[in-house]
Amino acid sequence: MRKGVQASAGLSPREIALGLSRSRREFLRGAAGAALGSALMTASPFLHGETARKKRKIIVVTFGGGARDQETFAPEGQDNIPHMLQELVPQSSFFTHVTNQGILGHYVATASLTTGVYETLNNFSAIPPEHPTVFEYFRKDLKRPASDAWVVAPSNGFNRIGESECRSYGPGLGARVILPKHLLGAATPGASTDFAHLLRDNYENPLYTPELGGGEFELQQLETILRLSVDDFMAHARAVSSPDELSVYIAKRLMQQEAPSLLWITMHDIDIAHSGAYSLYVEAIQRTDRLCAELWKAVESEPEYAGNTTLFILPDFGRDADYDAGGNGFQHHRTGDAASRTTWMMALGAGVRQGVLFDQPMQSIDLVPSLGAMMGFSPTQSQGRPIRELL
C-alpha cells in the first residue's frame, strides 16, 4: 500500500469494522440525538404476554444491494437519507455494528437472513434454502395460516425464498412470495427489449437471471388476494419509476387486504451499483430512503398495524471499500473486506426503545432468533443468537 491510499493500512478487518461502527455511532449521536444503549439496559419495553404476541406484527425490510456508510450514515452521505435520519432514527433502536460472515451474494445472503444460518446455495439459482426459514418456524410453531406470512421480493431468483427444503418444515409451511417484476412480465407479454431487460435484470449478474420454477404468485391472484385488477395494477406500475416503488405498493396492498403478521420485503434498486454508474446508485439510495419512510407511514395509518408493529430495516451486507485493490469500490461486494461485511440495523415501533444506539457487534443471522423470541416461536436450527437489547 502506497502513500495516498493507506487509510486502512495496518488495521485488521475487525479494527476496520469497529471503526465503521464507531463512525456511525458518533454521527448518529450528533445528528439524531440518539443515546448510547449500554446505559439504558434496564427492563425491556417489550410486552411478552400471549395476547400481545398474537397481535404483534413484524415487518422486515432488507436492502438487497448494500449501501456503504459514505453514501448513507457517514457525514458525507447524510444528504442521501433525510427520511431515515430525521424521521426513523430518532424513534429507533439502531445497531451500529452488524456483520455478515457468509457469502456476499444477494439471494444467498437474504436466504441466510431468513434462516439464521449462513446458507451456501448457488446465488444465481432459483433453489430453496437448506435450513428452515423464519416463515416456517413462525407458521408451524404458532399454527398460523399461509396468509399470515408473505415475502415481496425483487427478481426471479428470490421466488423460492419462502420455504426451505428441510424435511420437517418445507413445502406448505412457508411464506407466500410475490415477485412484482414477475407480475409485470406476466401482465405485459411481448414487452420491448429494454423492458424485458428490466424484468430479468438482477443487477448482480446483469446479463442473466434464472428462469422461474416453483410456486410463484400467479397473475390471477392479483384479483383474488390483492383485490386488484390487472388494469389497475398496470396503471399503478406506469406511475412509478422503479421496481422497488412497485414492491412497496404491493406490500401496502397486502397490508390492507391480508394484514400478514410477518411481512418481509426485499428492496433491490440499490444494486444498480453493479452497473458502475455512481449517480444511479446514489439515486437508488435516496429512493429507498423515501420508500422506507413511506412504508412506516403506512404502518402508522393502517388500523391492523398501528401501534403493534415492529419494523426492522437492514442491508443484507455492505459494498467494497474504495481502497481495497481487489474490488472496484462501490460497484461490487466481491472482496469480503470489512466494508462489504459490516453494516447496520434499525428497529422501530412496538416495544422498541426509541433513539438508542447499540454498539455491540451482532451478526445478521441473529435476526431470526430475535424475531422468534419476540413472537414466541423457536428457530431451533438457527445459528444466530437473540439480540439481547431487543428483548
Angle between the N-to-C axes of helices 134-142 and 106-115, in degrees from 0 to 180, rounded to the nearest 10: 30
CB of 205 to other proteins, least distance (A): 5
By the rule CB under 8 A, 312 interacts with other proteins: no
| Rounded distance between C-alpha atoms, residue 326 and residue 330, angstroms | 12
The three grid cell numbers given for residue 31, joined into one nine-digit string: 445528528
Task: Give the number of other Cβ atoms within 10 Å of residue 80's Cβ.
Answer: 22
Largest CA distance in the chain: 63
Residues 6+ apart with CB under 8 A from 198: 181, 243
Which listed residue (32, 149, 177, 282) binds other proteins by CB under 8 A?
Answer: 282
By the rule CB under 8 A, 194 interacts with other proteins: yes
Helix H or strand E segment including 61: strand 57-63
The three grid cell numbers given for residue 335, joined into one nine-digit string: 472482496
Which listed residue (171, 329, 361, 376) binds other proteins by CB under 8 A?
Answer: 329
Per DSSP, the three-state class of 65 is coil
Residue among 168 and 278 whose Cβ is closer to other proteins: 278
Choose the binding region for other proteins from 146-154, 164-172, 242-250, 358-366 (rule: CB under 8 A).
242-250
Helix H or strand E segment including 294: helix 278-301
Q: Let me know: does 303 contact 69? Beta carbons within 8 Å.
A: no
Binding mask 49-78 for other proteins (x = CB under 8 A): ---------------------------x--
Q: Let me know: does 250 contact 237? Beta carbons within 8 Å.
A: no
Which listed residue (170, 171, 206, 215) binds other proteins by CB under 8 A?
Answer: 206
Which listed residue (39, 145, 192, 231) binds other proteins by CB under 8 A?
Answer: 192
Which listed residue (124, 186, 219, 290) binds other proteins by CB under 8 A?
Answer: 124
Choose the binding region for other proteins from 31-39, 130-138, 248-256, 332-340 (rule: CB under 8 A).
332-340
What residues make contact with other proteins under the rule CB under 8 A? Answer: 1-5, 13, 76, 101-105, 118, 120, 124-125, 184, 188, 191-192, 194-195, 198, 205-208, 210, 234, 237-243, 245-246, 272, 274-280, 282-283, 322-323, 325-326, 328-332, 335-336
